[in-house]
Structure 1
């Protein structure tokens, strides 16, 4: 989701006087921006420029990419207008940090009108995707108060595997690793939740999902049923796709 809603603003590039949200810290692992240009160009050969928005193409691409790797499909309503503002500062203050605790995650999603259940379900998107080594190395090396050097909360075999992928070198800090490290992040499934339960998740915000009885109950329910996860994820994505949408002659206030 883009910072101000589903308006495609994450595709806007930085300018000399303004750093855009795609260059903000939380978005540095995003890739494939140029891929959106390809269907946009193809559509505009057949239709007038401006008929199809980048925001709609992003929404469709997200649905189709997840479906292509075994995930669910959902209805994507079209007609979004593209945004014209993209500020890195807004990405930093609005996107959920990977260090948030459970209540912090709830509060962050609530700002966009999403529920606690939506938050837990949409966190399941971490079953695919990439992050940088520097996001996990603080938990692998020199963890405060740890006798082993690693975060004692993490599964020990997981730590060994991640250290091989992310050695303690400056050159490795920018290496990409899969957020679903136990299966390679190539299939959309419930494995993320199994990782959370087994203490094999990358982020502290992943760990936070089972830090309360409410969150743990939701995680266990989703982990035990792929059909439940898929139907819940599809419903949550439909709702997310309506956040901050502008259509027709509407403009940002």
Structure 2
């Protein structure tokens, strides 16, 4: 029997509430299994080793800070924080590296490999690739001048990856606000956490292919910004890989410049500007644009929560010796 309009809306709301409660339950269970002192007795130099490597990588190329942060995000949003994004394709694994949101875009794999190699030399088979991603993301934010938080540890690495999930679960730069809210809600995040996590775009760069339509066809963009961007991003696909800063004002500093840009219609991506487009998240953007400390606090809390998305713990998964392949 077909549902009437009212029943259909009620059913959808009930389903969303059910999915949110399931994610929340998993989050609470994961939080109980992870701990900030997980490697204190088994690899006491783990955190300092990761920190030193990240500081060196960011010093060599400041963009790498944003790349390492993005690696962790793209890992956790696809079936949980299990380092599946690091797996190369094999005859039995159709990995995530070549999915549409990742191919030619996600980077930093070499830095993670270097860190893993260093850790294997001092405490072999102890520190997971998933934990390396989580700590490296935090250390990258700090290296760029942003907030710190205590990363909970104890994740293990998956033995498989999902090309399909990477294509369907990661939020796209073309999404409107309602779809962004839905995508993040499915992972257990509130609108406030969606806006806070989006602040990661206060650093890093994006390819022309991701913002071409915005600068040529959208009207809610500052005209001077659009004109400036067109010099590096023509209407030709030959420019697809040309890069522009996500935050044109302070792209190598982790600050609240991203939100200040949004209130001036200077968001680079369509999905960015949607957070300040007359919708329910406008007030959150305004608040963060005026209060950097509030953004830092909420971002750190949201990152901590994201790091607890469906981790493998206990005897599940494995500790990969090489992050790009299963043992």
Tell whether the structures are fold-level matches, with TM greater than 0.5: yes
User: 1:82 aligned to 2:157?
Assistant: yes
Counterpart selection for 1:158 from 214, 219, 225:
225
State which structure, 1 or 2, has the greater radius of gyration over its C-alpha atoms.
Answer: 2
Listed one character per residue, the Cα deviations across residues 126-156 of structure 1 (whole Å, up to 9, x for unaligned) are 1112221111112233x3xxxxxxx221110
**Matched residue, 1:24:** 99
Counterpart selection for 2:310 from 229, 244, 247:
244
User: 1:214 aligned to 2:280?
Assistant: yes
Q: Would the alpha carbon gap of residues 213 and 134 (structure 1) be closer, same or farther in structure 2, given more than 3 Å must change?
A: closer
Once the two structures are TM-superposed, the CA of residue 192 in structure 1 deviates from its matched residue by 0.6
Three-state SS of the structure 2 residue aligned to 1:214 is: coil
The aligned runs of 1:1-253 (5 Å cut-off) are 1=73, 2=75, 3-15=78-90, 18-28=93-103, 29-49=105-125, 51-141=126-216, 143=217, 151-183=218-250, 185-250=251-316
Q: Is the 8 A contact 1:102 1:212 kept in 2?
A: no
Normalising to structure 2: TM-score of the pair? 0.70
Once the two structures are TM-superposed, the CA of residue 17 in structure 1 deviates from its matched residue by 6.4
RMSD: 1.7
Q: Is the 8 A contact 1:26 1:91 kept in 2?
A: yes
Normalising to structure 1: TM-score of the pair? 0.90
**Gaps (5+ residues) in structure 2?**
1-72, 318-327
CA distance in 2, matches of 1:79, 1:64: 17
Once the two structures are TM-superposed, the CA of residue 98 in structure 1 deviates from its matched residue by 1.3
Once the two structures are TM-superposed, the CA of residue 99 in structure 1 deviates from its matched residue by 1.7
Once the two structures are TM-superposed, the CA of residue 163 in structure 1 deviates from its matched residue by 0.8
Once the two structures are TM-superposed, the CA of residue 119 in structure 1 deviates from its matched residue by 0.4
Three-state SS of the structure 1 residue aligned to 2:259 is: helix
